[in-house]
Structure 1
C-alpha cells in the first residue's frame, strides 16, 4: 500500500466509527508512527509503505476507532511549551488547565502573554513553597517548577501509578530535585502537612457521579474515574481545600483551583465563606475556569 492508500483506508474506518475529523486523525497517527511531519505525509501519497508499517498503523487506527484518546496511543500530550508523558493512570492535560498554570506563574511574578492582571500576586522572596493537590501527570507541578527556578513543590496524589508518571515528567524536565511527590488521599482527615505554602494549586476531580455515564466515550471509557468523579455535586475536594486553607497557607498566600464551566460562583462562595477574598478568572471563551482566593 502507498501512504495515500493507508490514509484513505484509515480515514474511512474512523469516519464509520464517528471519530471527529477522521482525515486529520488519520494523518496525525501516521505522522506520529513514521516520525515525519504531517506535511511530509500529505506531500508523498504515492510513497510505498512496508508490511510492518501497515500492520502497526492499522493497529493504532483500530485503537483510535474505539475512541481511545490520541494521547494514550502516543503516550504523550502537549501542555504549554512542554510535552508530558501520559498513560491511562493519569488524566490527559487539557488546554483549559493551561490557564491555571499561567495563573500560578503570574502569582509567582511572571507575566504570561494572555492574563487577567487583576489576579493576586505574591510578594517577592528568595523562594516559594507550592502545594499541588491531585498532581496526576505532574503537568502543573513540573510547569511551575520549570517556569520559576526558586519554587519548591509538594505534589500530592492518591494514585501511586500517577505519581510514577509525574516523576518521569519531572526527570524529563530536570526539576525532580525541587518536587517532592507524596502518595496520599487529600480527603483523609488524618493527613497532615508539615509545611505551609505560599501557593496552593489544584485541578481536582469535579464531575458529579451522576454525570459520568454521559461523558464522551473517550473520557468515560479510558480516563481514570479517580481523577474525574467527585461525589454527588462535584464539590467535595473544593470543600476540603477551603476547610484546610487557613492552616495550609503561609501569610498572604494564594489558592488557585480549576473548576467546571458552571461551578465558579459556587466554589468562590466556599472560599468567601471562610473569609477569603476571591476572583474568577475566565478563559479565552469567556468561561470562568479558575477560582483564585487569598486571605483578606
Structure 2
C-alpha cells in the first residue's frame, strides 16, 4: 500500500513512543524530513505527498539506528543551537541547550565592545564563537581546537552561516602554551572537556559509544583544561578582559578557585537555562 510522508511520520512516531523516547514527535519529524528530503517545518503538506517503497524503508532504517542508540544529531548530520543550524559529525560533540546561556553571556559582553575579539577554546563545532559572530556583526573570532575534524566542521559552519570572513580556525593544544602571534582578546570562552575518570564509565551509551572521548575527558578530576587555560592562555586577554567557562554541575566552585589562584577578579558563578550552576566567569587584571 502506497504511503504518504505523514503515514511514515506516524509510523516512526509510534515506534519512538513505544521505545519511551523523551521527544517522540520531534525525533519522528526530524527523521521523516531527513529520509524524505522535505522541509520539517512544512508538515501540512505531508499528507499529500506519496513515497516509493525505498524511501519508506530508508526512513525505518534511520529509525532503527536511532533506537539502537545512535544520536539523532549524527544521523541528521546537523543540530540546532541558539536558533542556528550547525553541521555536526562524530568528530565533534553535539551542541546542547545547556550551553546556550554561556553563549548568551558571551554575546552580552561582546555587544558592550567595539569590534570585540573573541577567543573560543576547545571550539568543537564552533557553535559558541560562530553564534557570537553571527549575532554581533563586528565581532571577530579565533576558534581553537586540537582536532582537525573539529576545525573542518567549524570552518564549514562558519561558511554556512556567513561569518567565514570574521572567524579563523586554528589548530592548537589548549593544554600547552598558545601559538605565537595570537594577539589579544576582549573575551575568552571555553566549554572544555570536563568529564572525570569516574564519570567516563557512567556516561549514557549514546554519548560514550558515539561522541568523541577527547572532547569529553578532562583528566582524573575533570579540571585539567581549566588549570591549563588559566595558567597558559589568560595572558591573551586584554586588561579587564573576561574569561567564561562552562563546567560540570558539581565543578563550579572548584573552577572558580582555579581562576582566583591564577589572578582573576570579580569571579562569579551563574546558572544555565535549566538552573544548574554551570557557568563561571572572571576578569583579567592588568597587574596579573
Name the TM-score, length of structure 1 as normaliser: 0.86
Q: Which residue of 1 aligns with 2:197?
A: 209
Return the match for 1:259 from 228, 241, 247.
247
Structure 1 Cα separation of the partners of residues 83 and 7 of structure 2: 34
Structure 2 Cα separation of the partners of residues 11 and 146 of structure 1: 34
Structure 2 Cα separation of the partners of residues 37 and 165 of structure 1: 23
Return the match for 1:294 from 280, 283, 286.
283
CA distance change for structure 1 residues 49 and 194 in 2, over 3 Å: closer, same or farther? closer
1:1-296 map, 5 Å: 1=1, 2-3=3-4, 6-7=8-9, 9-11=11-13, 13-14=15-16, 19-22=21-24, 24-34=26-36, 35-37=38-40, 40=43, 44=47, 48-109=50-111, 124-125=113-114, 127-189=115-177, 191-192=179-180, 194-277=182-265, 278-296=267-285
Structure 1 Cα separation of the partners of residues 242 and 71 of structure 2: 34
Query: Cα offset for 1:22?
Result: 3.9
Indicate conservation of the 8 Å contact 2:264/2:283, yes or no: yes
* Of 35-44 and 285-294, the range deviating more from structure 2: 35-44
CA distance change for structure 1 residues 66 and 42 in 2, over 3 Å: closer, same or farther? farther
Structure 1 Cα separation of the partners of residues 178 and 167 of structure 2: 23
Structure 1 Cα separation of the partners of residues 23 and 284 of structure 2: 46
* Of 146-155 and 227-236, the range deviating more from structure 2: 146-155
CA distance change for structure 1 residues 174 and 284 in 2, over 3 Å: closer, same or farther? closer
Structure 2 Cα separation of the partners of residues 129 and 251 of structure 1: 13
Structure 1 Cα separation of the partners of residues 221 and 148 of structure 2: 26
Indicate conservation of the 8 Å contact 1:19/1:67, yes or no: no
Structure 2 Cα separation of the partners of residues 24 and 280 of structure 1: 33
Structure 2 Cα separation of the partners of residues 70 and 20 of structure 1: 12
What are the ranges of 5 or more consecutive residues in structure 2 without an aligned counterpart? none
What are the ranges of 5 or more consecutive residues in structure 1 without an aligned counterpart? 110-121
Query: Cα offset for 1:189?
Result: 4.1
CA distance change for structure 1 residues 8 and 102 in 2, over 3 Å: closer, same or farther? closer
Structure 1 Cα separation of the partners of residues 225 and 163 of structure 2: 27
CA RMSD after TM alignment: 2.4
Query: Cα offset for 1:268?
Result: 0.7
* Of 84-93 and 25-34, the range deviating more from structure 2: 25-34
CA distance change for structure 1 residues 20 and 253 in 2, over 3 Å: closer, same or farther? same
Indicate conservation of the 8 Å contact 1:28/1:38, yes or no: no
Structure 2 Cα separation of the partners of residues 41 and 50 of structure 1: 20
CA distance change for structure 1 residues 19 and 181 in 2, over 3 Å: closer, same or farther? same
Structure 2 Cα separation of the partners of residues 190 and 100 of structure 1: 23
